[in-house]
Structure 1
């Protein structure tokens, strides 16, 4: 007798791994909404989104790399280097802002290319490669800036930090750009052959090679594209702070990885949804914002974030074992 297709609600829902980030965000919002009076306001939600723009854009590149079963520890420092390059070229050398911005993005894309070449050509582990380029980018940032903050940034570089009114709430242009970038990458991964190749390489690079797709080329492209997103995040950082800060980026790598993991992307590659990383970044932002409104020390914010990461990775590991 033929099996009858299931028409239950459970059969129609997405897998729990994809729903998890949204459920966590909903629970966090409800919890802080009941414990703090200021949480449920348009201005507060706008502030949360502004606070996660830099990490959110970095997390796009980090997601692409993790989808290929890699990891990038250098993303935060590459972002910081990009911000110093573009601000110094504009403020100190008088280069027009558009050219300075492109130069900064070119530098971050170049570091992505270096990471990709070391991973694909010399076959070094991504963890080791990006740990090394983290330190290299940090040293170059400090030397090039003289360990000094770059001020007198052109207005064009801070435009994404400005806001416009939407329903009585001030929304930053950087927030809009971040959301558009996520939607664009979501469409690319879902609807194009090149995007599906990223998942294929993460699932099984040898099988991908056998069907005529060169995994090395895909990996190299992913690392360069990630570098481009780090460059955009550099501009977001400058727009948010109004300066080029050589000491930025030292924790953004871990924050971005946290957002990706909380968003449901598997550290083992080949599984995940880019929009989940956006939700993961917002979850971290909501937790920090809500705990700050409650007067909780920042030490406990870091503690709770660490616990969430371990839980997310544990769920991923158990789901992989259960699927075998």
Structure 2
């Protein structure tokens, strides 16, 4: 009887809500809906503005350009879900890339060992971030701001500031830049790896105890600890897994760029954070989905690619990205004010 009364009360409360309040509730439960709508609007607008935008060739190029940022954004999502932030993700990726390329170039170290050492280094860098956050109790912003400079400097010192071209690298490191096509639409193996990363991590976050703990820590770390969640171990694991993903992103970047260069993707940190925020993951932690992050990465690259096809200057493209971030955070703040 009491269950029927509660159900009736909930139904009555729902009917009393305005359309805007119902939309707010929907977005609170499914924060990826608003970026999906924005992506569709962007596709339609660019298709109307330039007919070449939605061609098979253009879509293949767009996906290839999205792959690296989308991979980085997976690790960034894990960190932001715990109410942290990682400003060092791009630097970790570049350092990992330079190590695996330098070790394997010109038939030096076996390519598989060089690749694994590069990924292991990135994992260790993530572990270092996690150690400083959880054991030294430093704020994630300060920790990763510091390691951003440290890892960037190490990458430049280690490489001497020099690039390593694809013809000096073994086939294994170049492999993710190769692919297959359906007509003019071309997919690289790097895109396939990114899709696999999203599938695996989406399953882990939604179907495992570890994933539920990540959300719990981000929602309220102290309450989670009092409930028996090993908050510090979860945080340490999150930064370590993020580092592992950055190492895989380094391999994807070599294939995408056709070279290993210490100056690759200078805005990678900002782009990954932008993708996560636009994708509906809350900067305050505890709310968000990887599907939203993927949509966010597509939005970032769609705007950059579409505006480039329209001949818009780089400065205006950066301006558009900044506006997107502010709008996304404002929407997130509005959604968080939803009333039960």
What corresponds to 1:320 in structure 2?
336
Q: Please report how far the alpha carbon of residue 249 of structure 1 lies from its aligned counterpart in structure 2 after TM superposition.
A: 4.2
Deviation readout 1:33-83 (Å, 9 max, x if unpaired): 111010111221111110011111000000000000000000001100000
Deviation readout 1:14-51 (Å, 9 max, x if unpaired): 64632011001000000001110101112211111100
**Match 2:260 to one of 235, 244, 251:** 244
What corresponds to 2:96 in structure 1?
82
Please, which moves more after superposition, 7-16 or 311-320?
7-16
Q: Give the alignment's Cα RMSD to 1 decimal.
A: 2.0
Please, which moves more after superposition, 285-294 or 214-223?
285-294
Deviation readout 1:160-217 (Å, 9 max, x if unpaired): 1112023652211111111111111111100011111100100111111112111000
What are the residue-to-residue correspondences of 1:26-105 with 2, within 5 Å? 26-91=40-105, 94-105=108-119
How many residues align? The count is: 324
Contact 1:189–1:196 under 8 Å retained in 2: yes
Contact 2:278–2:324 under 8 Å retained in 1: yes
**Secondary structure in 1 aligned to 2:233?**
helix
What are the residue-to-residue correspondences of 1:1-324 with 2, within 5 Å? 2=5, 3-4=7-8, 15=29, 17-91=31-105, 94-151=108-165, 152-166=168-182, 168-323=184-339
Please, which moves more after superposition, 159-168 or 204-213?
159-168
**TM-score normalised according to structure 1 size:** 0.95
Q: Please report how far the alpha carbon of residue 319 of structure 1 lies from its aligned counterpart in structure 2 after TM superposition.
A: 2.1
Contact 2:75–2:241 under 8 Å retained in 1: yes
d(CA) in 2 for partners of 1:283 and 1:323?
29
**Secondary structure in 2 aligned to 1:52?**
helix
d(CA) in 1 for partners of 2:30 and 2:226?
32
**TM-score normalised according to structure 2 size:** 0.91
d(CA) in 2 for partners of 1:56 and 1:108?
17
Q: Please report how far the alpha carbon of residue 95 of structure 1 lies from its aligned counterpart in structure 2 after TM superposition.
A: 0.9
Unpaired segments ≥5 residues, structure 1: none
d(CA) in 1 for partners of 2:67 and 2:218?
26
